[in-house]
Amino acid sequence: MSSIENKILLIEDDIDIQDNLKTFLEMENFEVAAAANGKQAIELMQKEGKPSLILLDLMMPIMNGYEMLAEMKKRNLFQKNPVPIILLSAATDIEETARDQVVKFVRKPIALDKLLTTIKEIHAQYPPHGTA
């Protein structure tokens, strides 16, 4: 499995939020791949390789964020070289299993300036593959 250099994988089922975040991040010079649910995201990563960062919505149809995290753990995806995950949710209580697998939690509605700062901090802490 290769890596998608400096690419953010955005997993969000709300098409308006997905489009807005994708456009915003691309304007900030990030390459963004998008999926509408966890199943699509896992298939995309298996096909294209691992991203440098994942933005993961929790509540989605087909495979929600919790189920995707469990599936990634079950399949040992990126166990040797973990991908930082930012959880996006309006929920106030996040299951402990999710807290163990994510580096940050961003509450919806998303403040774009705070999200951008968080992404830059995480990229500094976890440099994209090939830059460290």
User: How many distinct structural domains can be found in the chain?
Assistant: 1
Residue at 41 is within a domain = yes
Chain-centroid distance of CA 92 in Å reads 19
Per the DSSP assignment, residues forming a β-bridge with 87 are: 56, 105
Residue at 57 is within a domain = yes
Alpha carbons 103 and 98: distance in angstroms, whole number: 10
Residue at 13 is within a domain = yes
Whether residue 10 is predicted with pLDDT greater than 70 in this model: the reply is yes
What CATH code is carried by the domain that includes residue 11? Answer: 3.40.50.2300
Residue at 132 is within a domain = no
State the pTM of this model: 0.87
Whether residue 132 is predicted with pLDDT greater than 50 in this model: the reply is no
Residue at 101 is within a domain = yes
Residue at 114 is within a domain = yes
* CB-CB contact of 16 with 60 (8 Å): no
Interval 108-128 mean pLDDT? 90
Owning domain of residue 94? 7-125
> 43-99 pLDDT, tens per residue?
999 898 889 999 999 999 999 998 999 898 888 776 777 789 999 988 776 656 566
Interval 115-126 mean pLDDT? 91
Residue at 1 is within a domain = no
Residue at 76 is within a domain = yes
